[in-house]
Chain A
């Protein structure tokens, strides 16, 4: 057997590797420590000493002081900077001073709440005062629920539980709400988009109940690095926030490498698949027993990488030493992996972003990212997994061939100077707002003129009364329906009108394996589609529109399906409009109607991507009203380049914008749609629409409207940076008249003033 290579040897190998296109070293940092604040209870000080903590990081002390001064606080904390103490210290201090007070913690997942509860219990034990902290979630047994409601001083839960159990039954929590002093919201950045907009409304409901019971709790929020933590926390809680972002925690030296796989097809400018590169690099570290974490963007990729890596590692008991870690695992399984990573039994872990959340897995030396994770917040969270405690850390980002990855790989300066993205929510999205007004009216009647999230709820209450859900009497709207509204509203599914996905492989034991919104269902679950769920292929037998169910059956085929949509875009209302400087075009923002009709689907072979068949889709048209932003170009451009070429320009620009948009707003590519039209129906001009893929919009296209000139500049840079001549996946994609279109596009966008 070959002797093991050391970390240094591996590093010098990498230094010689021509595919490593950039090597950036982030120097380590010393801790900025301050003594314990004088007001900190001596019992807490003793407990901390007992753990070997004799001073606080500066941000921990800042947080303690601000909270004790009665401020609502949002803390920005990188991975492993001791954020838990930032909220636990002031909360514990307060509970020691006044044991009747209560604190509510909420975490995005049950697993996180469980972790935090264990940590809290240890600390409480060391303090030596019997403070009561509990988790309260779907797993909490009925027998102890009552005592938690009565006597739990710290209750740790999740937003879903708050929404469907605690708030609708607030009369069972009277003394809890009367004495509620703190609301701790961890991992604030997770509450974005539709989910975040729902959670903001759950918080509005929580505030209504607190004020009913006469309490005015303080908020303590923590967030990973995002561009607008204070703004986001304020949007989510409706409070003015104090921002604490001076990090006092130490960090080890980090080597940040960009690896760009070699071009394997010169004509098409196609690069080696990033999965293959990741596999090879990860294997080098794993074979030398260096703990490594690999991030991949989809569950499917995680499973594929794990099976490849397990093959390489063929030693007898080595196989178990590489695991997948992703959402959807049972708690016990996750605990086992976390423990294995901490004590070194597990060498490698391949994860989706589930591990971005603050689960403590201890130190790993190397972090490999399969492609740019889509946003800088994730980059730094994932990078933070390497070198949590000691020794140099290595982070390798392996670029895929999509435009954004390629742009990052060739513009490292841009990458490292980049600010993290904005996080956006839209709590006033009408669909979401209406849902939560229902829930809130169920909890407490609405008085005429009463505000919900800053604006009067009267109009919506009247609407809901017309719908026979509320009853107006003596100046108040009361819930007057026999339904339990919270049961019908899920915070995490996109639209209420969701389809159940039913696996009927085993005829006798049909089971629901997931759900999907109507739009998704009609584009992915049409009859004869191949639907992939957790890496397993299913054939769609039937899509029942009335019952909102899709019946699917396990199959094993070597193709997937992709649907073609005929999309009709109409502008309902233009809210804002202005000329785009230097470009003979206008940009607008407003409400749009999207009418989509799935027409045909293609069957595409996995390995070769060739088209091996097609079929008709028989479904009615769907309509969605949402927010959109659009660019309308002057007719002069079409005349100048010719219709065919300009059509290619619009298609190419759509491809670029689809990838560039996540640089400006924290979202997934699937949250937005980009649709080009050579002749838009509303003004007959060549127009490119970008819209939020959620009814009513969640604020993404609004932000892109504001950032449009920068967005277009970025698109131009991406196209210009690519060496290909007539379009490739890394720039404008494969479009008609590719060569001319790429030239025309560069010319067109050249007029937008260059980047600062």
Chain B
């Protein structure tokens, strides 16, 4: 029997098998359309896009220029110049730092894809990017009119994008960029080289600052809760693949105009979000206690002790949880700077204020007392409290707890010896 006959015989069974694997989606059963360039040209017109050709392929390109005073939520693109200027005075090693850049160097970037897994079969069908220069915002969107046009698509994008060293994205490091690299493999012989790239990932910064107050740190939720922006008639991102698949069968601009608008707003929001985040980090905007604390913590991790200290000091005066946590950070910074007395009194005050002080606090304090102040009995007291706490929380699978406990017991022994020697001597 030929494959064709077999197929006829087994079609029902095969169809059921396909159904069993898929989640139910509403499906169109029309004949699959042949490519219709004229329909696409009509759609391009409706989407205010031009056509760029590459041999027998083409891509839809939408370009627009927005004025520097165009409002994007609380900010205007023109504000970016001030932001960059502030970075020039600010910390050099911060991940969001534009200290060595001009505003024009930043490329705000976002993509839409046909699926969320990262394999070779997912395509990017829409790239949006924007740059801010002295004349305004230059925004471009590239739409793939069908899977057979990727050479034209990437050729247009790579010819236009210039340097990709300073991409500003929301989760681009883990999502957008690996997909660009994957698809590039398929067209690499025919398009300009994929340039080196660098990243400002605003998802990372947003998570740091706001993950406690947001259910999920998505761009839309940040816009709404932090920048007080609202979108009207937004197409949810997860609908994008389905709408695009439909568009491929019937190139009707109405199907995907919503996706293009969604992508456009994403790209523009990135400009405002970068301005906002930079303002908070650089102290140009008033940060609330939660934001200040997280920014301080970030500076502390980056080794920018002065900046961290100046953020923690006012917070440490508070009597809430941020106050105590800031004291602890301050104490650690003091200890590192050799200001042991100051450090110890901060630890002590944190211990006194905390209802159930973390065992690590006792251990830190005990270390200082033992090594810097030779206050063995004080150190012993704190070590015992740490041991008590560790034992209470003891739990078979907690290896770090067990290791801490054994360290504490060693310390206790040593302190004992030292006290004996001191008494005898």
Contacts and interface: CB of A to CB of B under 8 A. Distances in A.
Contact of B185 (A171, A430, A472): A171
A441 B123 CA distance: 13
Contact of B121 (A442, A473, A488): A442
Contact of A445 (B119, B147, B181): B147
Interface residues of B, number: 44
Interface in A609-645: 623-625
Contacts of A21: none
Chain B contact surface mostly = helix
Interface string A170-183: 11101000000000
A469 B10 contact: no
Contacts of B185: 171, 174
Interface string A557-574: 000000000000000110
Contact of A484 (B27, B32, B115, B182): B115
Contacts of B249: 471
B3 A459 contact: yes
A472 B9 contact: no
B241 interface: yes
A478 B245 CA distance: 12
Given A468-B27, A497-B17, A483 B115 contact: yes
A591 B5 CA distance: 12
Nearest to A442: B121
B117 interface: yes
B393 interface: no
Contacts of B123: 478
Contacts of B32: 465-466, 471-472
B120 A695 contact: no
B78 interface: no
A481 B35 contact: no
A489 B20 CA distance: 11
Contact of A483 (B6, B7, B22, B182): B22
Interface in A570-593: 572-573, 575, 591
Contacts of A495: 17
A445 to B, nearest CB: 7
Interface string A422-442: 000000101100100000011
A169 interface: yes
A174 B185 CA distance: 8
B17 A442 contact: no
Given A174-B185, A463-B7, A474-B35, A431 B117 contact: no
Contact of B11 (A169, A463, A473, A696): A463
Nearest to A624: B13
Nearest to B5: A573
B147 A473 contact: yes
A434 B14 CA distance: 8
B1 A169 contact: no
Contacts, number: 125
B119 A430 contact: no
B15 A467 contact: yes
A439 to B, nearest CB: 9
A459 B182 contact: no
B245 A471 contact: yes
Contacts of A466: 32
Contacts of B120: 168-171, 442-444
B121 A471 contact: no
Contacts of B121: 168, 441-443, 479, 484-485
A169 B179 CA distance: 11
Given A169-B120, A441-B121, A467-B15, A430 B245 contact: no
Contact of B181 (A171, A431, A480, A496): A171
A536 interface: no
B38 interface: no
Contacts of B14: 430-431, 434, 463
B21 interface: yes
Q: Which of B32, B35, B115, B119 has the most CB of A within 10 A?
A: B119
A324 B242 CA distance: 52
Contacts of B13: 431, 623-625, 695-696
A601 to B, nearest CB: 26
Contacts of B182: 171-172
B18 A469 contact: yes
A474 B148 contact: yes
Interface in A167-199: 168-172, 174
A255 interface: no
A486 B16 CA distance: 18
B242 to A, nearest CB: 8
A482 interface: yes
A455 interface: yes
B194 to A, nearest CB: 12
Contacts of B248: 471, 473, 480
B115 A625 contact: no
A476 interface: yes
A695 B18 CA distance: 14
Nearest to B145: A473
Interface string B218-257: 0000000000000000000000011001001100000000
Nearest to B178: A172
A496 B17 contact: yes
A460 interface: yes
Nearest to B11: A463
B21 A496 contact: yes
B22 to A, nearest CB: 7
Contacts of B114: 480-482
A460 to B, nearest CB: 7
Contacts of A479: 121
A575 B114 CA distance: 43
A496 B20 CA distance: 8
Contact of B1 (A444, A486, A497, A575): A575
A310 B120 CA distance: 53
A443 B186 CA distance: 11
Nearest to B241: A482
B116 interface: yes
Contacts of A471: 32, 146-147, 245, 248-249
Contacts of B3: 428, 430, 455, 459-460
A168 B119 contact: yes
A476 B117 contact: no
B7 A169 contact: no
B46 interface: no
Contacts of A459: 3-4, 7
Given A478-B147, A480-B114, A430 B27 contact: no
A474 B148 CA distance: 7
B146 A474 contact: yes
Contact of A473 (B7, B35, B241): B35
A496 B114 CA distance: 24
B101 interface: no
A480 B17 contact: no
B42 interface: no
A445 B187 CA distance: 13
Given A473-B147, A473-B148, A482-B242, 20 more contacts: A168-B119, A169-B119, A171-B181, A434-B17, A442-B119, A443-B119, A460-B3, A463-B7, A463-B14, A465-B32, A466-B32, A471-B146, A474-B35, A474-B146, A480-B245, A483-B22, A484-B117, A484-B119, A496-B20, A591-B9
5 contacts: A168-B120, A174-B185, A488-B21, A496-B17, A572-B9
Closest 10 CB pairs of A and B: A442-B121, A478-B147, A482-B115, A474-B148, A168-B119, A484-B117, A171-B185, A479-B121, A482-B241, A497-B20
Interface of A: 168-172, 174, 428, 430-431, 434, 441-445, 455, 459-460, 463, 465-469, 471-476, 478-489, 495-497, 548, 572-573, 575, 591, 623-625, 695-696
